[in-house]
Amino acid sequence: MASQYLVGPVGNAPAGANTNQQGGPHGDAYVSELHGKWSTAARQGRLFHGSSPAAGIAIPLYTATTQALCLWNTSTTVDLELVKYSLGYVSGTTVAGPIMYAMLQAGFAYGTGSPIATFTNAPTYIRPGRPGTGTTQAQLANATVTTTAALPAAQMIGSSISQPDAFVAASTTAPVIVVEENFDGSIIIPPGWAFFPVALLASVSLYQQRLVWVENPVVTSTGI
C-alpha cells in the first residue's frame, strides 16, 4: 500500500489530536527530526569514528606511493558511507594547497603485487558512535601505507577544503583552526575499495585527522 500525504500548509494541531501526514507537491513528506541525523546509525552500531594518533600525521602528496590515513573496505557485505572528514592543526609550517580524496580498487588483501603492498590496521583508533555498540567491518591505517603504484588520478575527487597555510609551529598568534568536510553519504566506499585523503602540494605539517562513516548492507540494485 502506497503512503499518502496531504498537500497543504503546516497546521497547528492540539495535543492528542489525530492528524494527516502532510507533504509537498512533489510527493515529499514533511519531517521533523527528534534526534540528530546520524543518531539511529550510532545507536544501531553502524556509525564509526576513525582517527590518526593525537600527535598527528602529514597529508601525503597525491603522487606518492607512501600514504598515511587510509580507510579500506575489506568486507564483502557492507558499503562504507562517508559522513565527515576533519583535520586539526598540530605542528609545522603548512603549504597552501587543496586536499583531494583518492579512491583505489585495492581488493581484499595487501601484499607484494597487490595494489596495496603494506598496510597496518589500527583497530584501537576506531570508535563506535555509541560506546559498546557495534564492531566495524572496515580497516583503518593511520601510519604508513605503501601502494604498488601512484593512486589513480581518474579516481580522485576534489574537496572543498585545503591545508591551512602560513602556520608556524612557534607562533603565538596563529588562530585555533579545525577544517572539516561533511559528505553526508555523497561518497560511498564499496567492498574492495580504499579511501585516502591526499594533498596537491607536499607539506611536512602534522594534523590530527578523523573520518566518520556509516556501514550499510550492500544494495545490489542501483536503481532503487
Are residues 35 and 110 both part of a single domain? Answer: no
| Residues 38 and 62 occupy one common structural domain | no
In a domain, 222, yes or no: no
Among residues 199, 190, 215, 60, which one has the least CA distance to residue 126? 215
Instruction: State the Cα–Cα distance between residues 207 and 90, nearest whole angstrom.
Output: 5
Is residue 30, in this structure, part of any structural domain at all? yes
Lowest mean pLDDT among 96-105, 143-152, 172-181: 172-181
Burial label for 4, CB within 10 Å (0-12, 13-18, 19+), is exposed
Q: What is the domain range of residue 37?
A: 1-10+19-43
Top pLDDT among 158 and 68 is at: 68
The answer to whether position 6 is within a domain reads yes
24 and 53 assigned to the same domain: no
The per-residue pLDDT for 174 is 56
In a domain, 223, yes or no: no
pTM of the model: 0.86
Does 138 share its domain with 32? no
Residue 224 lies in a domain: no
| Burial class of residue 41, CB neighbours in 10 A (0-12, 13-18, 19+) | buried
Tell me: do 29 and 105 sit in the same domain.
no
For residues 81 and 144, membership in a common domain is answered with yes
Q: Note whether residue 166 is domain-resident.
A: yes
Kindly tell me the sign of the dihedral angle through the C-alpha atoms of 21, 25, 27, 33.
negative
The string of pLDDT tens digits covering residues 156-192 is 998 877 665 544 444 555 555 668 899 999 999 999 9
Domains contained in the chain, number: 2
84 and 171 share one domain:
yes
> Quick one: which H or E segment has residue 88?
strand 78-91
Buried b (16+ CB within 10 A) or exposed e, 56-88: bbbbbbbeeeebbbbbbbbbeebbbbbbebbbb
pLDDT at res. 165: 53
Give me the pLDDT at residue 14, please: 84
Q: What is the pLDDT of residues 107-146, one digit of tens each?
A: 999 999 999 999 999 999 999 999 999 999 999 999 999 9
Evaluate whether residue 91 is within a structural domain.
yes
How confident is the model at residue 160, as a pLDDT? Answer: 72
* Same-domain status, 91 and 6: no
Same domain, 36 and 125: no
Other Cβ atoms within 10 Å of 19 Cβ, number: 9
Q: What span, in angstroms and rounded, lies between the C-alpha atoms of 129 and 213?
A: 10
Q: Let me know whether 168 and 125 are in one domain.
A: yes
Any domain includes 31: yes
- 143 and 210 belong to one structural domain: yes
Place 6 in a pLDDT band, splitting at 50, 70 and 90.
Answer: confident
Q: Tell me the pLDDT of the chain averaged across its residues.
A: 87
* Model pLDDT, residue 194: 98
Q: What distance in Å separates the CA atoms of residue 144 and residue 109, rounded to the nearest whole number?
A: 16
In this structure, are residues 71 and 194 in contact, taking their beta carbons and an 8 Å threshold? yes
Same domain as 119, residue 177? yes
Q: What is the pLDDT of residue 168?
A: 47
User: CB 25: neighbour CB atoms within 10 A?
Assistant: 6
Q: 155 — phi, psi (to 5°)?
A: -110, 25
